[in-house]
Structure 1
Amino acid sequence: MKRTLYISLLASLPLLAQETPLEPGHTDNNKFSQMYDLMATPNMFRTASGAPGPAYYQQKADYKIDIELDDANTRLYGTETITYHNNAPEPLEYLWVQLDQNRRAADAKGPLIENQRVDASYSSEGFTRRYLEQEFDGGFKIEYVNDANGKPMRYIINQTMMRIDLDKPLKPGEKISFSIKWWYNINNYHVIGGRSGYEHFDADNNNIYVIAQFYPRMAVYNDVEGWQNMQFWGAGEFALPFGDFEVNITVPADHIMEATGELQNRADVFTPAQLKRYEQATKTFDKPVVIVTQEEAIAAEKNKSSKKKTWRFSAKNVRDFGFSTSRKFIYDAMAVQLSGKTAMAVSVYPKESNPLWGEYSTRVVAHTLKTYSKYTFDYPYPKAVSVSAESQGMEYPMICWNFGRPDKDGFVSDQLKYGMMSVIIHEVGHNYFPMIVNSDERQWTWMDEGLNTFLQYLAEKEWDENYPSRRGPAAKIVPYMSGDQKFLEPIMSNSETIHQFGNNAYAKPATGLNILRETIMGEELFDYAFKTYANRWKFKHPTPEDFFRTMEDASAVDLDWFWRGWFYSTDYVDIGIADVKQFYVSNEKPKGFKEDNRQQGRRRRSESENAKYVYMVSEGPEFNKRLKKPLDISSVKELEEYVNEKFTAAERQKLKAPKYFYEVTFNKPGGMLMPIIAELEYEDGIKEKHIFPVQIWRKNNQTASRVFATEKAVKKITVDPELKTADIDISNNVWPAEAVKSKFSEFEED
């Protein structure tokens, strides 16, 4: 005769659906809803998989530029010829050119959008600069805009944008060439600020120049924005098309220079000894080779040549161009072996940066190229250059400026060393995002800063497992996520509207990706999907939707709930333990037990089959009450009889023998969904981790319950014991309830 075992909970089941009164209808507010309401509709340009579509196109802008640096007057003079290729399927009636230096024009509107207050006190220098000195005029002085025949073209300048009107529309497949002549005053970035400019050294009356945004640059035209001609207000960086550059830069003859692209006339600007050292560096993979020595740099500082030299650079398929020049520069380099090619890691720095830079900078550049290439694609450019520029951290194709100098006595603290290394990793890493995976920084800062900060964290950990990373681990974002909502914006916010730029555009997206990799998707699935995105969109212009869709398409992990919560809202994670009920097994029906209709039906059917009930008996309704009477399986004769009858001796040896039963109800005071990580700690000190996918919240976004049947008594239950989910309140994460000292204090930033 068939025998069936039923285990019934003490609490009765809900009434049948037809007995429940109807409630008013409601719209879909489930946090697992798909994101059709938020993401752009796929099309022939950008597919639903997140890949470029069959109609995808992008424009091309080629530049031939001649510039001269006036070191005595800190000015830059230039002429350029731009050849613009229209690959769009529609004609263009005009062209938009970016004039980012106009951010520093005397009549710039950028300063007028900033709120001001009167400080209680000023230094004499600060008061003079703010209220007495004439505004610095660093804007472009455009002398002409001519067509290929030298005829003036019609143009109008609107702050940081210039529209060039065409005599006839530029048709699909056509190209146009035109020339611009300009000059501007270079800013002292220590005094005036800015992403580029010069740093002055009073001791020897020399400058280090880090020069970018120095030429009128084509704006992006694409299938998403049309012309991306949003003004440059200062926070949102740049959107630029790819192209080829031929750039000739004339500077004092004793200057040493590095720039975007490959140097075409090294023999004209290096001494024979320096050429020999450079050749040695191209074959040295284990340590930097000093090419321009400190002694040579010191000699140049003192003598100050009145002659000039022209450095000639060529760069293919880059979106921008930057350069740095000074007679103070020491120059070292080493070769980096990647799977498909060799690249050069290079550093230029003044004597004031030693011994720190000579020891670490180029090695860190090489490490960054290797690590980023592993997670994305092999670095495609011939070199990556790190420039010592105090108080800076900025990136351009193949070259970047980085802070970090010893004090006047040469002392280097760990904070300074790791800070410098992190900036170098970050700025060199920008070669991948956005210099190659070319997102629109003017609109979406997180697409380059956030993704790059995430990879920076991986590179730091590969340098040293105990590296003191500032951003990446989930717990470090908690102080921001738990802050005043009035000063929080979703990640999907325009760059100019963000209150806490570093937390919103760098830390939160990087932390989100780290949570995806470590907690939600797993490293294997995440790494494959992330690499797929990088390779799909290298040398192209991706949007946020392209990233979101590719990560799902390549992993088979539905992440709409994550993008919706982490990127499109300011929801925070707070998961706790609301209740724990403890049970033991008995064959006696508990006093007061009442069956509902379904239980009665099951019992009648089972009685005809001579089945026995095993009842789960609660020790009482009190919260956190400990189990008094552990279950002894042998005392429940009916269960023992059933087991002996149904299983062989060998099979019985493999059966579990639970003695303790805990029904745990988890709640979610925070709005952000997240998997539940629960750790059981037994009385013997052994710990056991259980991870429940985020879909456990799918039918009730607020509560979820699980039953743990254990052989040993549970002493403690902890949610997220390793702080992997950015839970902002861990005081409700532990059962039995206890005073929980904040684990986040070490992560809180000033």
Structure 2
Amino acid sequence: MRKHSLSFLCGMALCATGAAYAQTGAASQYQPAALFSPVFYTQNGDAIHAANGNPGPQYWQNRADYRLHATIDTTSKELTGTAIITYTNNSPDSLEYLWLNLDQNTYRSDARSNFLTGATAPAHTNGFVITGVTTSPNAAVQANYTITDTRMQVRLAKPLAPKGGTITLQISYHYTIPGAFGGRTDYVATSKGTIYEIAQWFPHMCVYDAARGWNTLPYLASEFYYDYGDIDYTVTVPWDIIVAGPGDLLNPETVLTKQQIARLAQARNSDKTIMIRSAAEIGDPASRPVHSGTLSWHYLMKNTRDVAFGASGAYIWDAAGVRLPNGKKSMAMSVYPVESAGNEAWGRATEYLKGSIEYFSEKWFPYPYSVAINEAGIAGGMEYPGILFDGITDKGKELFWVTAHEIGHNWFPMIVGSDERRFAWMDEGFNTFIDIYASDVFNKGEYAPKRDAEYAEGGGNPADEIVPVLVDPACPSIMTAPDAIPEKYRHPLTYFKPAFGLVLLREQILGADRFDYAFKQYIAHWAFKHPQPEDFFRAMDNGAGEDLSWFWRSWFYNNWRYDVAVTNAVNAKEGNRQVVRISFANLDKQAFPAVVDIALLNGTHQRFTLPVETWLQQKATTITIPVPAAADKVTIDPDAKLPDADRSNNVKAVSGE
């Protein structure tokens, strides 16, 4: 927030006039009682979700631990797997049944996702083919289960006890890996071999929480909502394939050469990128520890909500150390084909990844995993804990922006475990917000300002570019269910508007200090937990010490537009004082605190902030400002930081008394 001297504030006289807005020639749509209604939160805080936005003293969440074994048949393009899931019921409820996500079923010809937009899918698979399901609290028992689209219900013979009851499921399955039509998981041929991007590759427990019980939304187009646990996974592939997986590699001596192990040790302590496997080594048997058969790559990733991996014999592989603020270390690495090599392209991918992790860790919350991987393929920008699937053809600023954005998802929603299927803005919007500032600091602003397809979509001023969204009567609100948002509005509402809203909150409403403190508190309290939207709103209200319900109501729950005008400005004398009397009118439904600039005839400028409380009772106001010389013109929002629908009425020449 901008600061003013006490004498200046004491010299500012405010008085209301109901006629000021009429001078604009437009009727005001503004209703103070609608914007500032005191009833915003629909229920009181409780022992699970506290009134201050923190997890309450009785907060609980369930846990899912996985032991996974998968084998990839590179001829048939089939993955065969076994998932052993240990599920812990920490809720106060006995569970008579369990629900699991079967996301591969979205590729079936009869999947509900085929009917979301009416577009015809280019190809299909049979999804998960389940060959066995057993439960074993004591001994293995064939499970009673049913599959509905992308969900499986396991009906238990005996309810799972509350407050710590556990059960183990064992599921055997296989599926055909989708090709390019997979979107978030696929395979693609390159000049040196096929690249596999493997995600949504095992049955996943649905979340059971205090907000809704079982969260069983089908997998249509929106992303994921999972519980946390340890994932111990083994992937068996032909000997010449490298498996780039997040987590700790538990058997490096089996799947890597001694030289590669030594290079990785060097990279962990290096700020410069170290080559682990060069382009010249692709296809060289000496770059692999065996020269026939298969190898099984064994990884362990702790306290994670998911895991994905890349696999290919075509990978160039490099890495560098990551310095974390808590004194711990991590490692950034990239894997990519020869088509993506070169410093103008993926040769700097690890540098981009390292820089982004170090910035986000210092600014918001330390990166929690031992490794982060940037993988080049055709998924073209998809995130999972500890690994990103970015585009083979990305270069320069586009590669930096997508890298910063996708690794940023490790904070939202991988650390702060929000529900992407219901509230995509808590995932994409929050992450777009934090990577705006990553662009400002990386390599002294080499790729700043961020103006990619997720923020300021036309490359210009975001305050101006959001206006078409706000004035579009058909545009839904941010709080619309993600799968119900038409594609036309998906990026504006899921990425751009919530991200720009947080920029407004930080830079125009609260100021950086109050915003950053409250936002960091929110992240710390909800790390590896499941916040609801009201938890975020309450956390910001409490941490910043501001009732922001007017902002949440207008920006998130509605799509209200903003138009404040300078309707009159007059030079005058009050005794021996030179003053300027300025009239303002709020012409639409939104309000913001706004900077006002007075250009004086002596060539200097004087500024003050018109607070949002200006509009608590009135649609129009006139204020008297002492000035050292007569004024020439008055401008509201002179730096064009606010999403004003009509800037033509923001400037007024000052007349004589």
Flag the 1:295–1:663 CA change in 2: closer, same or farther, 3 A. Answer: same
Partner in structure 1 of residue 347 of structure 2: 359
Report the TM-score, using the length of structure 1 for normalisation: 0.78
Partner in structure 2 of residue 287 of structure 1: 272
Partner amino acid for 2:131?
E
Q: Deviation above 4 Å: which 4+ runs of structure 1?
A: 11-14, 300-306, 471-474
Partner in structure 1 of residue 23 of structure 2: none
Structure 1: distance between partners of 2:287 and 2:299: 28
Partner in structure 2 of residue 322 of structure 1: 308
SS of equivalent residue, structure 1 residue 518: helix
Structure 2: distance between partners of 1:722 and 1:229: 46
SS of equivalent residue, structure 2 residue 516: helix
Instruction: Kindly indicate whether the alpha-carbon contact (under 8 Å) linking 1:475 and 1:727 is maintained by their aligned counterparts in 2.
Output: no
Structure 1: distance between partners of 2:112 and 2:369: 37
Flag the 1:394–1:447 CA change in 2: closer, same or farther, 3 A. Answer: same
Partner in structure 1 of residue 179 of structure 2: 188
Q: Superposed, which structure 2 residues align to 1:725-740 within 5 Å?
A: 725-736=642-653
Structure 1: distance between partners of 2:43 and 2:243: 45
Instruction: Kindly indicate whether the alpha-carbon contact (under 8 Å) linking 1:101 and 1:139 is maintained by their aligned counterparts in 2.
Output: yes
Return the match for 1:398 from 386, 403, 426.
386
Structure 2: distance between partners of 1:676 and 1:482: 21
Partner in structure 2 of residue 527 of structure 1: 516
Return the match for 2:263 from 277, 284, 301.
277
Instruction: Kindly indicate whether the alpha-carbon contact (under 8 Å) linking 1:293 and 1:331 is maintained by their aligned counterparts in 2.
Output: yes
Partner in structure 2 of residue 176 of structure 1: 167
SS of equivalent residue, structure 2 residue 415: coil
SS of equivalent residue, structure 2 residue 544: coil
Superposition deviation, residue 116 in structure 1: 5.1
Structure 1: distance between partners of 2:283 and 2:324: 35
Partner amino acid for 2:36?
F
Structure 2: distance between partners of 1:113 and 1:556: 42
Partner in structure 1 of residue 594 of structure 2: 676
Partner in structure 1 of residue 319 of structure 2: 333
Partner amino acid for 1:686?
T
Structure 2: distance between partners of 1:534 and 1:343: 20
Superposition deviation, residue 468 in structure 1: 3.6
Greater C-alpha radius of gyration: 1
Structure 2: distance between partners of 1:697 and 1:486: 24
Partner in structure 1 of residue 5 of structure 2: none
SS of equivalent residue, structure 1 residue 210: strand
- Paired residues in the alignment total 615
1:218 equivalent in alignment to 2:199: no
Partner in structure 2 of residue 558 of structure 1: 547
Partner amino acid for 1:670?
D
Flag the 1:721–1:305 CA change in 2: closer, same or farther, 3 A. Answer: farther
477-486 or 678-687, larger mean C-alpha shift: 477-486
Partner in structure 2 of residue 250 of structure 1: 236
Structure 2: distance between partners of 1:193 and 1:99: 15
Structure 2: distance between partners of 1:12 and 1:351: 68
1:160 equivalent in alignment to 2:150: yes
Instruction: Kindly indicate whether the alpha-carbon contact (under 8 Å) linking 2:387 and 2:407 is maintained by their aligned counterparts in 1.
Output: yes
Superposition deviation, residue 198 in structure 1: 1.0
Structure 1: distance between partners of 2:125 and 2:378: 23
1:69 equivalent in alignment to 2:69: no
Structure 2: distance between partners of 1:301 and 1:435: 37
Deviations 1:94-125 (CA, angstroms, capped at 9, x unpaired): 000000110001221211232359xxxxxxxx
Instruction: Kindly indicate whether the alpha-carbon contact (under 8 Å) linking 1:552 and 1:559 is maintained by their aligned counterparts in 2.
Output: yes
Deviations 1:691-731 (CA, angstroms, capped at 9, x unpaired): 1221111111x223221221212122111111111222211
Partner in structure 1 of residue 526 of structure 2: 537
Superposition deviation, residue 13 in structure 1: 9.5
Structure 1: distance between partners of 2:627 and 2:218: 63
Deviations 1:209-243 (CA, angstroms, capped at 9, x unpaired): 11110000000000001000011111x21110001
Partner amino acid for 1:680?
I
Partner in structure 1 of residue 25 of structure 2: none
Return the match for 2:580 from 657, 662, 669.
662
1:493 equivalent in alignment to 2:465: no
Return the match for 2:432 from 453, 461, 465.
453
Structure 2: distance between partners of 1:391 and 1:716: 53
Q: Superposed, which structure 2 residues align to 1:350-749 within 5 Å?
A: 350-355=337-342, 356-390=344-378, 392-405=380-393, 416-463=395-442, 464-465=444-445, 467-470=448-451, 475-483=461-469, 485-499=472-486, 500-585=489-574, 633=576, 658-659=577-578, 661-700=579-618, 702-736=619-653
Deviations 1:251-282 (CA, angstroms, capped at 9, x unpaired): 11111121121100111111111111111111
SS of equivalent residue, structure 2 residue 412: coil
Structure 1: distance between partners of 2:49 and 2:39: 16
Superposition deviation, residue 397 in structure 1: 0.8
Structure 2: distance between partners of 1:391 and 1:229: 25
Flag the 1:453–1:328 CA change in 2: closer, same or farther, 3 A. Answer: same
Instruction: Kindly indicate whether the alpha-carbon contact (under 8 Å) linking 1:252 and 1:305 is maintained by their aligned counterparts in 2.
Output: no
Superposition deviation, residue 670 in structure 1: 2.6
Superposition deviation, residue 475 in structure 1: 3.5
Structure 2: distance between partners of 1:113 and 1:428: 29
Instruction: Kindly indicate whether the alpha-carbon contact (under 8 Å) linking 2:378 and 2:390 is maintained by their aligned counterparts in 1.
Output: yes
Partner in structure 2 of residue 745 of structure 1: none
Structure 1: distance between partners of 2:217 and 2:467: 29
Structure 1: distance between partners of 2:44 and 2:564: 34
Instruction: Kindly indicate whether the alpha-carbon contact (under 8 Å) linking 1:573 and 1:726 is maintained by their aligned counterparts in 2.
Output: yes
Superposition deviation, residue 482 in structure 1: 2.6
Q: What residue ranges of structure 2 are gaps of 5+ in the alignment?
A: 1-10, 19-30
Flag the 1:28–1:719 CA change in 2: closer, same or farther, 3 A. Answer: closer
Superposition deviation, residue 28 in structure 1: 8.5
Instruction: Kindly indicate whether the alpha-carbon contact (under 8 Å) linking 2:281 and 2:287 is maintained by their aligned counterparts in 1.
Output: no
Instruction: Kindly indicate whether the alpha-carbon contact (under 8 Å) linking 2:135 and 2:142 is maintained by their aligned counterparts in 1.
Output: yes
Instruction: Kindly indicate whether the alpha-carbon contact (under 8 Å) linking 1:67 and 1:76 is maintained by their aligned counterparts in 2.
Output: yes
SS of equivalent residue, structure 1 residue 433: helix
Flag the 1:368–1:680 CA change in 2: closer, same or farther, 3 A. Answer: same
Superposition deviation, residue 35 in structure 1: 4.1
Instruction: Kindly indicate whether the alpha-carbon contact (under 8 Å) linking 2:597 and 2:607 is maintained by their aligned counterparts in 1.
Output: yes
Q: Superposed, which structure 2 residues align to 1:13-52 within 5 Å?
A: 29-36=33-40, 38-52=41-55
Structure 2: distance between partners of 1:169 and 1:567: 40
Partner in structure 2 of residue 647 of structure 1: none
Structure 2: distance between partners of 1:13 and 1:157: 65
Structure 2: distance between partners of 1:342 and 1:517: 30
Structure 1: distance between partners of 2:196 and 2:16: 77
Partner amino acid for 1:678?
V
Q: Superposed, which structure 2 residues align to 1:97-246 within 5 Å?
A: 97-115=100-118, 135-148=123-136, 149-172=139-162, 173-189=164-180, 192-201=181-190, 203-204=191-192, 206-234=193-221, 236-246=222-232
Instruction: Kindly indicate whether the alpha-carbon contact (under 8 Å) linking 2:429 and 2:495 is maintained by their aligned counterparts in 1.
Output: yes
Instruction: Kindly indicate whether the alpha-carbon contact (under 8 Å) linking 2:109 and 2:125 is maintained by their aligned counterparts in 1.
Output: yes
Report the TM-score, using the length of structure 2 for normalisation: 0.89
Flag the 1:47–1:302 CA change in 2: closer, same or farther, 3 A. Answer: closer
Instruction: Kindly indicate whether the alpha-carbon contact (under 8 Å) linking 2:634 and 2:653 is maintained by their aligned counterparts in 1.
Output: yes
Deviations 1:656-701 (CA, angstroms, capped at 9, x unpaired): xx33x3221111223111012111112233222211221111111x
Superposition deviation, residue 300 in structure 1: 6.5
SS of equivalent residue, structure 1 residue 491: coil
Higher RCO (Cα < 8 Å, 6 or more apart): 2
Partner amino acid for 1:452?
N
SS of equivalent residue, structure 1 residue 55: coil
